[in-house]
Structure formats: structure tokens, C-alpha cells
A and B are shown apart, each in its own frame.
Chain A
Amino acid sequence: MSSLETPLHKVQGLGAAHSGTGHFWRERLTSVALIPLSLWFAYAVLGLIDTNEVAVVSFLAHPWNAILMAAFVVISFYHLSLGLQVVIDDYVHTAGTKLFLRLLITVLWIAGSLVSVFALVRIAAL
């Protein structure tokens, strides 16, 4: 049976939505990364409970801890943006509102990540 699909479209493998399985795949990748990072986060927060500002700062100022916390926050924000996009795709059917919310989510996850990473840099310099 002959296909109406052009050879270029076929090799690109992006389908009718022009985005292929990219969104699905990035959501899975980030969720797998967040398994060990969430466990580390629980370990860190429980270890810092009932301590003081000095202990929290010296923990987060340590390079490995700063990097792990930055990874946890940035990947969480990104995973959040992917999840929220699905919610919007499911429930918002007006093109304008959809675009607005998508922009809002993009700003939110990038701004949240930048603010958190900058805070971590500042903590390391305290």
C-alpha cells in the first residue's frame, strides 16, 4: 500500500503533532533522575531538621550538596513544566489561553530554576 507520507516526514519520525515522542521521553527521563535525587533530598532535609542556620549553610555550601540540590530543583521544575503542559493540553481548549499558560509555565520553570541556583551560589559565598 502506498503512503501519502513524504520520505522526509517518515525519517524525521515526528508524526502529526511534529514533536514525536520527545515530550513523553523527557518526562520519563526526568522522573527516573528524580528517584535517587528525591531520596537524597529526603536524607538532606531530615538531616538538617532541628539544626541551625550555620549547619544548613555549611551543608549546602559543600560543592557536592550544592550540585545535588541544584540538580534536584532544576530537574523538578522541568519535570513540573512537562506535567503541567499535559494538564493544559487535556483541559484547555482555547488556543489563546493555551499559548498564554504555556508561556507562563516556561517562565515559571526557568525563573524558579535560576532563582534557586543563584541562591545556592550565594549560600556557597556566605
Chain B
Amino acid sequence: MADHPQKPGAPVTERPMSPHLTIYRWQVTMLASITHRVTGMGLGLGALVLAWWLVSISNGPEGYEDFMDYAETPLGLLILFGFTWALSFHFLNGIRHLAWDLGYGFEKRTATQSGSLVYVLSVVLALGIFAFAWTGHGGYLQ
């Protein structure tokens, strides 16, 4: 700030600012990008829970019960629903990213629409998975 290019008293010129998070107007594409990163980090915790699940099962019936006791609490179910939605979002938005890598869907309108679609579909998918289980359709691998 010491080397201010404008002389004191000179009229202030409005220079373009380098865009940053706090300056950008919020858009779907930007939000989807941030959500992709946040869900990715959240799924890091999910991967640790997955490892914990496998270790619990390997400890025999008591270990399995221990894990299920945690998983079946309201907080446990809420966390599992969070992972389900995060994986749904990261999965769908990841496919969107792969399409971009192949050169498809870069038009402004298309990118915005596919972003909104990913949000809607991820919620539908996560709710669908929980509804499927809660209506007793799960457990077909008995």
C-alpha cells in the first residue's frame, strides 16, 4: 500500500478488481464447483467410516453390533444420509466434470443447466436410496 500509484488529491479511477469469492456474484456453476470440493472432503471422513465398518465386521458378531449401535442412532443416520447425499452429488458432478474433460457441455447455458440438474438429481437420488431402504426393499442379499 506504500507505493500507491495515485498522487494525493488526484481523482480516483475505478480500476477493475481481480475477482475473488467475496466479489463474485454467486452462480450455480461456482456453487457446484465449491460443493464438489466440499463433498469430496466430506467423503474423506466417509472413507474412514467405511474402513471402520469393515474392521467392525472383521471383529465378529460383537464388532458388527458395536458399529450398528452407532449407525442406528438418529445422529448416525443423519451422518449416513449426509454421506449418501455427498456421494450422490460427487458421483453426478464428477460425471459432469468428465464430460467437460471430453469437451462437452462447456456452453454457459449448458453448464448452468447441468449444474442445477446435478443438485436436483443428487437430492432425489439420496432420498430415493433412503426411501428404498425404509420401505423395506433393501436386504435382498440375505
A interface residues, Cβ below 8 angstroms from B: 28, 31-32, 34-35, 38, 42, 44, 46-51, 53, 55-57, 59-60, 69, 73, 76-77, 80, 83-84, 87, 112, 115-116, 118-120, 122-123, 126
| Bound CA span A12–B90, Å | 34
A-B contact pairs, 16 of them (CB 8 A): A28-B98, A31-B94, A47-B141, A48-B138, A48-B139, A51-B139, A53-B61, A55-B139, A55-B141, A59-B141, A60-B54, A76-B50, A80-B43, A83-B40, A116-B55, A118-B58
Chain A minimum-CB-distance residue to B140: A47
B78 interface hit (Cβ, 8 Å): no
Which of the residues A44, A112, A123 comes within 8 Å of B141, measured between beta carbons? A44
Interface hub of B48, B51, B97, B138 (most chain A Cβ within 10 A) = B51
Residue on A nearest B38 in the bound complex, by CB: A87
Interface of chain A: mostly helix, strand, loop or mixed: helix
Tell me if B's interface is mostly helix, strand, loop or mixed: helix
Collect the chain A residues with CB atoms within 8 Å of residue B95's CB.
Answer: 35
